[in-house]
Structure 1
Amino acid sequence: MKKKSLTLIILTLILLPTSFLFVSQSVKAEHSDDYFITNVNHEITILYNGYIIINDAINLVGNASQEATIKSIKIGFPFQYGANFLDCQAYDVSQTFNVNVNVPFEGHMSFYAVEVVFPEPLNITKGKEYTFNVGFILSNNLFYMIETGKFVLDFPAYPSLTKPVANCSVKLNLPESATNITIAKDDGNVNTAQYFKENLSAFAYYPANLIFSLSEDKLQLFDVEELKREITISGLGEISGSDSYYIISKMSKEIAAIEVVLPPNASIVGAYDQFGRKFESTPSLVDAETNRYRIALTLPVESYKSTRFTVKYSLPSQNYLNAQGENSEFNCSSLLFRNIDYYVKQSSVSILLPEGARLRAPETVAYADSFSLSRNVFQEALTLNMQGVSPLNNILPLKSNLQIIYTYNPLWLSFRPTLWIWALSLLGCAIVLFWKRPKAAVPVTVPTIAVQLSPETIKSFVNSYEEKKRIISELESLETGARKGKIPRRRYKVRKRTLETRLSALSRKLAGYKEKMRVAGGKYADLMRQLEVAETEINEVEANIRSIKMRHRRGDLSLEAYRKLLSDYEHRKERAETTINAVLLRLREDIR
């Protein structure tokens, strides 16, 4: 009897933890079925400059038998994409949600996850249904060109959630001209930009590669480091704007043209380089709906090099400005880069009010990441600063229209003309007083004599200049030989570095001689002026020749036009070289 009791006790002790485990698992399983994810639309978009937007539209259906809520939900992707994560936004049709980034993913270490926190706990009682979106921005390091016209995108094939997904549809938004599409993923390759998966498991781990061909430059790899938009309002209500770009190329080839998006209804568009020189080609309208323009750069951006340029335009006052007496309302909402299709790291919008205008309630414009208000004696300017601007801002619900209200008295229009009248009046009075002053004794002027130059100085200058011409000629021959493959690459680099070092030393030496001759005055100063004009002409002609050659290779310039321009530039170069030779000849005559 005692043996039976002991056996029963031992058996009870063995089965007790198992029963607890079973109950625990049952409770956990019951809790895990409190809601289902019935559908996810997984949409991937490649932005114009290679950045990636992943937008997951999640449909959640409650299944709790009793009143129950959830405060948050987690979503992620394979951890290898975490290093390229830039931003995440969660939202529904009416509001945005808070997002905690880089959070633990239910003990799964191979994922990068975010937690979407709902403004109010979601009621997941059976039958309740919710739809919301989670958007990710990933860097353009995941997108690269393997050869001319052929691109590769590394992306998560499906979203990773803590629950299974009944239906997951995937769509990749590619340019219409994309061809030869191939998507390689662990559950099977596809040759279309859309695919579908049923019963997607929880914590799905599916890295994928997309390979496609693109003949046009509809996608280009570059970073927009900075975009400064400046809007100026005149006293008459005229509005002008300028967008200043600072970009860094990440292409393996040159970037000859870039497409930019301007504010709605912008007109009279012109593009300028960082020195204020207007580009040869006028920007062309590519898409009227988004006001997208194509900018043909005068000097293409070399691989992994940077450039700056500015686009200037006018805006119709009737679309942006509402004047009522001395109060004016300026609608800035459409100026906050809401239509761009590229990622901008740092951006700002500056609004310069008319002279004499005063901003009302500036604290109400704290719409961006930060803002500042600057004031001088006659004018105020408001600047809004934003970081990480992308098309994701377009799909987020707009909280409210950004209106800037300022007061302006039209009498300020006469301010500048009045200043000019006063200035001219004072100048006239000064001239009259100067004219009527007592005449002073006329001083005896002694003519100045030009400083004499020694023949050795002139001879050294001529010899140095001849040496400079010889080195430049040798550099040109070296470049030609390298292009034709007649000179080994290593020898070409060593020889080029040696010649450039000698040329730099000669240029510094010649600069000293030129200064001495200018100080000497007389014919020597005139000869130096002629020499500098001719050198400037040669530099300008050589830059123009490089430009037309590049345009001809791109097909922007016909063969006939190219030959005509090339002939004109070569004639100009010959005339400039003739001038230089004439100057050197006159200097040689002084040595004899």
Structure 2
Amino acid sequence: MSRLLLGSVGRPCLTGILSVTLAILVAAFTFFGSATSLVEAYDQNALEVHVNRIIRVEDGGAVAMNDTITISRSVNGTVNRLSRFLVGVPRSFEKNLARIYAYDGSSGLEAVRNVSLGRADICGFEIIFPNEVNLDEVETYSFTVLYVFSGLLNPETLMEFRFEFPQYPTLEYEIQSYNLTVVLPPKAKEPAGSIPFNETAEGDSLALKYSEGAVSAFAKDSAWVTFSSADFKLLDVREMTRRIVVDEWGNIAVSDRYYIINRATLAVSRLSLRVPRNATSISAQDIYGSLKVEVAEASSHVDVKVSLREDFKKGKGVKLLITYSLPSELYLEYDGWDGYTLTMEPLTYNNWWIVRRLNVVVVLPEGAEFQSSSGDLSSLERNAFQETLTFTEHNATEFDELSLDLRYKYGVLWASFRPTVWTGLLTSLLGTLLYMRRPPKPTVPTVPVPVETLRDFIKKYEEKRRIIQNIEVMERQVRRGKLPRRRYKVRRDSLERRLSRLQKDLDSLRKEVESVSRRYSELMRDLEVAEAELETVKASLERLRARYRRREISSGAYNRLLEEYNRRRERAESTIDEVILRLEEELR
């Protein structure tokens, strides 16, 4: 009874205890959540932040967004020391971000990509300060973050362009004041935008200005601007390969190879490029040949304007090759008797372009040995006595400040390597020729054969062949009983008399032709041998037929020998035809 009473009383008590515990937990989570929100709100106002943003639209389509961030300790803030600072861009602009840079005065700062800001819609970056910043000592501290975008601009019409950009900086702190300036390309006009800009002039460019008092943390709004221009080019530089060849005498030959695609609606007929200062022998060509160039010397580079063979339209590409020479006294330094340093700065002179893939290929002289370089080497190829080095960068811009500082060793005796090899080969070849040389045989002067003699010989010889052929035809007709023997004998006697007279004339003409030169003598000898072969074959055929009629040989042997004699006759006749043909060629 007591157990039942105790059990019935225990259930309500247990239920009450659980309810109280649950209420306490809910209250605790609510309190900690509120506390966390307070901490976040407190952290967002722990610093006083001011930002000046300048966006420049470069000819070619690159967009450079420069944020100058000034921070100081807020009145109620507890942050007085900083070793890093987090910045970001909206995730929708991440695919267009080519590069990010950070600067502290004149020195660069490390910018670490893909840092979490606790928001999935924001791509974060961590700016690391080399020395901890004490805001109690410096009061304010300024640094710059530079974002370089590609693909933000798009053509609206033939001469109208539109681009979208982040309207505000994306920071983990609230911004107390914000100034925005958008600088359009030179000669751009008719600007319009999604925010109320104040339009001013900066040289031959338009500047659109906008200010706002306060910007919340983690802002990710975007804005857009349109403008029109007849000269603006929207290009995609897929690849640039600069090939630097240093020969054994220190001469420097350079070739810049470009692959460029036009993204604008307006066709492009001329491109402006840049090559290093003091470049000479500048030329340009496409896959079909040379192109017209206009060269203008500047203080830090040489401007090269290339007139294209034909306009290349939207979506089309062009491949260009610019070749030139550089003076070794400006770009090649000597260090001791075998040390050399090749220096070139910067490597990209087209400051308004983003190069998707930049290859710098250096071909050292034969016998040179690579020692060190300022950049990371992508590949080193050794071919016989020569080394070829390749450096590769992706999404290269003017702000990369890429430079080449390459050191190699080169012995002075290597300059004479190839001349020595060629001299040795030439000497060996000359010695071989002298060894194999024999005293020349005396040559018999060639006397031209009179044309009439050759023509008469050919004519009479062809007549001889026709007579012999007629006699053979009559013999076959007699054997078959188609020609009476009496008529055959009369006609045969007439043809043989004519054949006898022709043979006497041919013998005389043959001697005259043979006396001209050895070549004609050999032709006459070949002709005589072939004629003798025909006579032999003819006699052999007559004996073969006689033996077959007397049944001295079987049918199989007869047919086999008959086939053999016919082949011999065909070869002899072919030789005669060839000799006559060669004689006829002499008449042409």
* 1:384 corresponding residue in structure 2: 391
Distance 1:147 1:208, change over 3 A: same
- Determine the structure 1 residue equivalent to 2:45: 33
User: What amino acid maps onto 2:215 in structure 1?
Assistant: S
Contact persistence 1:260–1:340 (CA under 8 A): no
Task: List runs of 5+ in structure 1 lacking aligned partners.
Answer: 1-8, 447-592
Greater CA deviation, 67-76 or 174-183? 67-76
Compared CA separation, residues 434 and 205, structure 1 to 2 (3 A): same
Q: Is the 8 A contact 1:90 1:99 kept in 2?
A: no
Q: Structure 1 residues 21, 125: CA separation in 2 closer, same or farther (over 3 Å shift)?
A: farther
Please give the alpha-carbon distance, in whole angstroms, between the structure 2 residues aligned to 1:23 and 1:86.
40
Correspondence for 1:149: 159
The one-letter amino acid of 2:208's match is Q
Q: Which amino acid aligns with 1:367?
A: G
User: Among residues 346, 351, 354, which one is paired with 1:340 in the alignment?
Assistant: 351
How far off its partner does 1:270 sit? Answer: 0.6
Contact 2:97/2:149, CA 8 A, preserved across alignment: yes
Q: In the alignment, which residue of structure 2 is the partner of 1:258?
A: 271
| Alignment-derived partner of residue 425 in structure 1 | 427
Q: CA separation in 2, counterparts of 1:46 and 1:121?
A: 34
Q: What is the distance in 2 between the residues matched to 1:322 and 1:22?
A: 67
- Structure 2 match to 1:95: 108
1:245 CA drift (Å): 0.8
CA distance in 2, matches of 1:111, 1:190: 29
- Asked if the contact 2:159/2:266 (under 8 Å) is kept, the reply is no
Query: What does residue 414 of structure 2 align with?
Result: 412
| Residue of structure 1 equivalent to 2:70 | 59
State the alpha-carbon separation in 2 of the partners of residues 242 and 326 from structure 1.
29
State the partner residue of 1:158. 168
The alpha-carbon distance between structure 1 residues 16 and 137, as it changes in their structure 2 partners (threshold 3 A), is closer
Match of 1:285 among 272, 296, 305: 296
Which has the greater radius of gyration? Answer: 2
1:247 aligns with 2:260: yes
* Residue pair 1:62, 1:123 contacting (<8 A) in 2 also: no
Shift of 1:190: 4.1
Unpaired segments ≥5 residues, structure 2 = 1-19, 201-206, 444-517, 525-588
Q: Is the 2:160–2:229 Cα contact (8 Å) retained in structure 1?
A: yes
Cα distance per residue 1:203-262 (max 9 Å; x no partner): 33432222222222xx32222111111111122222121101112222224321222222
- Listed as ranges, the matches of 1:309-324 within 5 Å are 309-324=320-335
Deviations 1:568-592 (A, max 9, x none): xxxxxxxxxxxxxxxxxxxxxxxxx
Provide the C-alpha distance between the structure 2 equivalents of 1:60 and 1:348, rounded to a whole number of angstroms: 40
CA deviation vs aligned residue, 1:500-552 (integer Å, no higher than 9, x gap):
xxxxxxxxxxxxxxxxxxxxxxxxxxxxxxxxxxxxxxxxxxxxxxxxxxxxx
Alignment-derived partner of residue 226 in structure 2: 211
The answer (yes or no) to whether the contact 1:75–1:160 under 8 Å persists in 2 is yes
Query: Cα offset for 1:173?
Result: 3.2
Contact 1:100-1:116 at 8 Å conserved across structures: no
Show the 5 A alignment for 1:72-91: 72-91=84-103
Please say if residues 167 and 196 of structure 1, whose CA atoms lie closer than 8 Å, have aligned partners that are also in contact.
no
Whether the aligned pair in 2 keeps the contact of 1:270 and 1:283 (CA below 8 Å) is no
Shift, 1:54, TM fit: 1.5
TM-score by length of 2: 0.63
RMSD over aligned Cα, in angstroms?
3.5
Question: Are the counterparts in 2 of residues 263 and 291 from structure 1 also a CA contact under 8 Å?
Answer: yes
| Structure 1 pair 423–300 and aligned structure 2 pair: CA distance change class (3 A) | farther
Written as runs of structure 1 = structure 2, the 5 A alignment for 1:390-405 is: 390-394=397-401, 402-405=404-407
Q: Quickly say closer, same or farther: Cα 1:79–1:342, change in 2 above 3 A.
A: same
Pair 94,445 (structure 1): closer, same or farther in 2 beyond 3 Å: farther
Q: Is the 8 A contact 2:109 2:128 kept in 1?
A: no
1:234 corresponding residue in structure 2? 247
Tell me if structure 2 keeps the 8 A contact 1:271–1:283: no
Q: 1:113: how far off?
A: 3.6
Identity between Structure 1 and Structure 2 (%): 26
Q: Aligned letter for 2:397?
A: S
Measured at CA, do residues 27 and 309 of structure 1 come closer, stay the same or move farther in structure 2, by a change above 3 Å?
closer
Mapped to 1, the partners of 2:184 and 2:434 lie a distance apart of 75
Structure 2 counterpart of 1:169: 179
Contact preservation (8 Å) 1:184, 1:210: yes
SS in 2 for 1:245: strand
Distance 1:264 1:128 in 2: 44
Change (3 A) 1:248 1:437: farther
Letter in 2 for 1:259: S
Shift of 1:67: 6.9
Specify the alignment match of 2:11 in structure 1.
none
Question: Displacement of 1:271 after TM fit?
Answer: 0.4
Q: Which residue of 2 aligns with 1:181?
A: 191
Q: 1:33 to 1:206 in 2, by over 3 A?
A: closer
Aligned match of 2:536? none
Q: Does 1:45 align with 2:56?
A: yes
Give the counterpart letter for 2:412 in structure 1. P
Counterpart-to-counterpart distance in 2, 1:145 and 1:21: 49
The number of aligned residues is 418
